Structure 1
Amino acid sequence: MPPPAQNHETISFGPFELIVNERQVTRNTVHVELGARAYEILVTLLSRPNEIIDKSELIATVWPGIAVEEGSLRFHVAALRKALGDGRDGARYISTAPGRGYSFVAPISRRSLPARRQSQPLADSSAGFQHYNLPSRMGVMIDREDDLERLSNQLHTRRFVTIVGSGGVGKTTVAVAMAHQLRAAFNGAVLFVDLSMLSDPGLVATGVASTLGLSVQSQDVTSSLIAYLRDKYLLLVLDTCEHLIAAVATLAAAIFESAPQVHILATSRETLQVDGEYVYRLDPLAYPRDDGELSADLVRTFPATQLFVERAMASGATLAFDDSDAAAVARICQKLDGVALAIELAARRVDVYGLHQTEALLDQRLAQLWTGPRTAPARQRTLQATLDWSYGLLSETERMVLLRLAIFVGNFPLDAALAVVAGDGLDQADVFAAIDSLVAKSMVATRSLGTAMRYRLLDTTRAYARDMEADAQETTALAVRHARYYREWLVQAGSEWSNLMSGAERAPYFAAVSNVRAALEWCFGPNGDLRTGVELATAAAPVFLAMSLLPECHHWSERALAAGESMSKSEEMHLRAGLGIASMHLYGENEHARAALNGSLTIAQEERDTSNEAGLLGMLHMFHFRGGDFSAALSFARRCRTLADDVDDPAALALARSILGRSLLMMGDLNGARIELEELFKTWSPTQQSSTIYLVHDRHYRAGIALARTLWLQGYPAQAVQRVQEFVDGARQMDHPASVTVLLAWSASIFLWTGDLDNAERHIDASIAMAETNSLGPLAAVGRARKAQLAIRRGDAVDGVASLRASLTAIHAVRYELITTEFDISLAQGLAATGRTDRASAYLDDTIRRVGSNGDTCYMPELLRVKAGFLQSEAQPRVADAQACLEQSLALSRDQGARGWELRAAHDLAQLLAGSGQRKAAREILRPAFDRFTEGFETADLVAAERLLADLS
């Protein structure tokens, strides 16, 4: 077997040459770009040509000490083959042994290069650098493969790389792994210098020289060290530079300039900021976000949770890791910001406290005192020690700014920091300079959110800062500045929100809401400022409403109204509106919501605030509309439509047309409804703005579904489906959960009417999931009722009836009666399908009476048609009564212009007449109804009608 590749060798194969000591591959003298992993795979395969090297052996060789999936090996082998042109023009270099490994199969030749000239050290007896002093690898790393790949490439091309990141993120671990990986490439010449053991900047050069084993006999240590390193080929690892940053920067720059074959890998919490330095920022490990239910399978895919589980089990803990465990692990990793050290320390406690108690202790901030391995550096044996180390390196101004920044929750912009942190002895210039320095020292993290840079403290750093003792008066002043800044931000956000079209644009706003919550908690807390709290809650109510943060809108509006603090009429109007609207969405139509909305409208009228009056009329229309009082809702819609003509605000007219069109649809005035709704969409766009947020709260996607339903009823099923898809997609892009949930539930009716049950199911399931995720109780009940409807349509009448009854009970409890007539029809059909025709008929008669009282007469033709079917199903069929019902349904549907209902009634009447031998009369009834359609011939009703016409012919 040929010997392994030596660093002084050149290996040739085909048109390629591999120069080992330069880690370079050429093709006909032209450099071939290879990633570090692909290069290591090639060297390993060349060391044993024509021999199959097992996949596990390749992984262990190329990724030592790192947990790597087999797919990574396949990926890099494919990249290597592509770089070599394997398989092109008959060339064949690497062969795959399925299920086993890979083999290098092309002929190779080797030749030696002249050895590098070794210079004598200052007073060193050794002729060369034949040893290395690397620490052992620090356990199995998770998800750092890409980091090592990029670092290897950067070290090769740039020679001088600084790994920068926050304390505990894993800089030293990665640097040690990188050095081990490159040891062979540097022929063992790898020097690791742990600078954390030094405190005197003047001893940096001496520390490096002594680690080399050099006897320094000169005052000018740096010059002597550089003279020694000038022609050396080695990797110099300078670990933990931040506390000696200036001295290390000077030395590293001198070595880089004067020793062209020395490669430098440094780790620091801030950059060295010298010529030649390439900065590699090491991010925390990715972890799952808390966005609803998390499955164990999903959580397993994140490196932070993989590390937690691996370290917990290595410490003796037993984890079932089902969905419950997975959610707890995800929350722990999120609280620890993916910081590797913090995750490892927490994981080691699971064996002692159990998973859920460990999570609880994290919330009590005990984790900072937990200890890690005894072999870890002193600064990393506890998280507290790591944070103390970082804090001790700060100036007094930087410490003051860091402690004040801890008031922010999550991300914050620079202008917020300048406005809130400045004061009480700090001006904005001080704050700006300190933040710049804290970012450089990795104490404050940055990220781009939207179009602006955002800043944040890691949760562990923030908890550390919050535990520091602070002057009570200064803390109160800081909290007031924080609350007032976000009050002004809310005023601005209210005017901007309607113009934000994408989730990326809205992300910074949701990030700021975390600070609004924190400010509200403080204002209404034991030592808070109630006056500021009322102002903040007033500004927050309409913004919470627009953002679909309904539980918070309800909570803080109610809290502010109950505070007993004097408030202006405008403040009371907004708080009552927020309380009423949120209560309506969360708990359905109730007297609490009605009183709040009426009170808000009264104030708007007294103050002659016509814009807000128009918006509140729209909200009261929604209140009565949802409650099933369609006549009262129509009166509010007409009042809003009249008022909109006097308000110089296009959004007011859009709202008025929207609610009037929807009311007219429910009352069976399809032509009037379509006129209002189509006029609305001629001039309205999702970006329409208004100074009154209640006017743009509803993006009119409900009106879009109303238009789709109108089109179906009028005999345009294809256009109806197209409109549904357009408006559901538009609402999803706007990221407004309440609107999307309503649309999904209502759009399902279009698919049920057209007979597309699979699409109906998809929309229903999505509506249920979104309603439950966003605590929209009434809408969740509507989604489950839709699911039961679907079950009845598919023939599962027994379970469908039971589920629909339970759902209707929940819907009636919150008085969400907007859609119950559709469910009553389905329930009656389900009862009949289970043989309870008498109960079905009685239930349907009650529904018909209720529709006559409430005003949703658009359903009357369908109710009469279904009733005719029940009359024919009785033990003694009442055919004449059934025919009368169908004729009445037919006449009423024609009066409404409801061709959708007309076709169904004509189909059933034609069947009845044909059954009694009146085939010609049956054709004369059905043919005109069918011929009025110009589209949608693949939908269920038209298919059935066409089939019956064919039979009648």
Structure 2
Amino acid sequence: MRAGLAAVVAVHGLLSPPGETLAARVGIATGPVVVGELIGEGAAREETVVGDTPNLAARLQTLAEPGTVVIGARTRELIGGLFDLAELGMKILKGFPVPVRAWRVVGEGAAESRFEALHGSDLTPLVGREHEIGLLLEHWERAKEGEGQVVLLAGEPGIGKSRLVRALRGRLENEPHTALSHYCSPHHQTSPLYPVIGLLERAAGFAADDPAATRLDKLEALLALSADDVIAVAPLLAALLSLETAARYPPLEMSPHRQKERTLEALVNQVLGLAARRPVLAMYEDAHWADPTSLELLDFLVDRVQDAPVLVLITFRPEFAPPWTRHAHVTALTLSRLSRRQGAAMVARLSGGKALPPAVLDQIVAKTDGVPLFVEELTRTVLEANLLRDEGDHYALAGPLPPMAIPATLQESLLARLDRLAPAREVAQVAAAIGREFSHELLAIAAALPESDLQAGLDDLVGSGLVFRRGTPPQATYSFKHVLVQDTAYATLVRAKRQRLHARIAAALEQHFPERVQAQPELLAHHYMEAGLAEPAIDYWLRAGQRAITRSAMTEALAQLRNGLDLLADLPEVDRARRELDLQVASGVALMATQGWAAPEAGRANARARKLCEQLGATAQLWPVLYGQWVFHGVRGEHNAAQNVADEFLRRAQDHHDTSAAVVAHRICGTGALWRGELSAARIHLQQTLALYDRQEHHSLASLYVQDPRVAALSGLSWTLFALGYPEQARTRSREALDAARELAHLSTVAYALLFASFFEQYRLAWREAKDRAEALVELSTEQGFPHFLAPAMVIRGWALTQSGEAETGLAQLRQGLPGWRATGAGLYEPYFLGLQAEACGCLGAVEEGLEMVAKALDRVEETGEGWFEAELHRIMGELMLRLPKPDPTAAEARFGHAAARARQQGAKLWELRAATHLARLWKQQGRCGEARDLLTPLYSQFTEGFGSLDLQTARAILQETTASSEPKNPIPNISS
């Protein structure tokens, strides 16, 4: 048995010698262990043993021959599946006045069963569910054969979903299998993977006072049960559990989104790894309360269990719409209410077979209307009241039946039971404020009752069956039998007392459970919110949202941040703006991640944050807010708005003499100018970025502004210098950007550099290099979950394939990339992508379609002002006109001339040379060699580098061909129109 595993045993025939404790006899070492019944040799007595043992099962085997370790019913209930047991039936044992049911400990139970939480066994009698349990067993048999199954179990509250799950567990207890229980909670719907975290913590046997290293040891031991490579998995799940790993593992170098995906993948692999050893029953209860990330996990799990010995059982209320019904291996099952006959049979089971007076039975059956939980609670209410007299084999009325003696609703019945428990009611109220599950330690602090009163109240609640207990105080954990029981107890609290309780619970968590606060700040936020303390509630909702963002749980982050925003009205105006600013900044990040950089809601969040920055004079927060606005407008293709933001950014940075801000400001001004086709301005700004950038001082800017400014400036310069006519300098800058990005190891920066490099290689028509860069970006984007980089990478890879002879495949990828890009909310680069697609259409003979695309692209240029690719669009249109079934060389000549003129206006010498080369080729074909030579000669002579590039080689070849001609020279034509 692994060190630290909680267990409970009772030993028969192993009495300790005088002065030697049972703990010493069993061999206690270092971890939690033994609590339970000791069946003695002369008198019945119970001894509690608390200690640790690294290998309890092995020690037990050395202490006695097989068969001498015997446990009773109470211990059997507590240990669950931690040991393999052989039932001995009813046995007469010394010291016990009556025969007792006993089990022999055969050996250590399957290690995988340590995943399973231990539950109480005071269960409602199962009546009228023979068909349903038979169906579940049928699916279990299919799963055991390797045909994975998923059962969706729906039903209204109290209908018996959890009871049916427990019944299935009972039917399988003698079969080798692994049971994994996950419990969703209404108070943790914004806590990413809350059910999984609870399972892992229970399974690993974390103790409240475990140091971080011990918890990591326990986690690794747990993972060893299902993973071949624990080292690869442990850092991911340690991060999920908020465990410090720096002393043992290197940091996780991946984006939050990729980390989440890898974590989900690891969790699914854990289930499949366990299933490789023995069949797995994976239960997810109350999925209507599941957090979004847990639902993502279920998506992956449902997809992957089809060929594994796994039965996934998901329970939920009817209002939840499960998304998994499309799968052939998924079965939906809805629990109906019990019939009148079944309700009466359940009452008989609860009364121990003693008949109730017909009038009482009729009221119970009528009022409960076939809801099993109501049947149970109303029957217990009646039996606990003084309405009946036990006549041995039946009950009789103790007197006339009062008209309102039997409650009419489940809530009234539960309230009546709680009222009769008197002192326990206050304990139940405090517990209900904590949650459906609560620890003895937290309850003791929050309740502020004498320990004897607290323990008496808990014993009454456990004895009544309203609460289940695991373990022994003060390490015990409790849970309400049903969420409706918790709700009823909570509803008895008046508002003022409820708020005081939540405030005490929050204070107790802060003071005594800092690890839990760090791992679940949303829990503190909830309690402070319910306490009516808006200020700390907002602070914790902000912490929770920021933490969720770092885990790429953006949906949960948005919900948490909105909770904080909703509470702002409760703050004094003087405190409101600063807290709102922090919430809006974080919301902008989450919204851009979930809805895209160009999402309107993200734009509103950034706009509001900017207004608050100005109101508060919050300069430090203004820079990332302005950057967010620039990205928002720029990616939407709103270039005028983006330019206004960039200009303001630069002006403010200069006014504040803030060098770091100036670095970013010149970078976005330069990039924006490049998009608009203002190449000289772009070059100046981007070079200024490089001049101001200090590697030691500014390398951290990448985390604040998504990409490193130096890499972004180098990437933008590669485009700018190429268009200006400096192909070699441009290529050097592109390679510098890639090298710098890889040196930083900042993944978003690497992706940015690869994106610009793939575009750059396309510009210079180097399809092999473009394909290499694009495929590297596709791989990185897929691995890290970067849809905004994946889509343009697909476009460039598609273009490269059209150049390599795979035109149809390439065009398909081009067509796939543009909608994927638009799906992120982006409008930037659309003219460029349409132009590439138009060229591919022309290669495949779809010339008319290509011309329509170029026309759309030019309309977008006119609409947005994104002019950097405009000259190329006119050139592409000219090329397509020459490919028409009836070529139109006159119109093509005009387009080539317009392309050259537009490039000349922008100072884009290389675009001008490319357009002029196409025009010169056309003239040469028409026999106008002198005109062609006179057009190209002055352009070609302006270049001082890049003579090995395809553009200059092509131009030189045409010049040589036209020079060889005997045609006399003609003046250079006017192509400015």
TM-score, normalised to structure 1, is 0.49
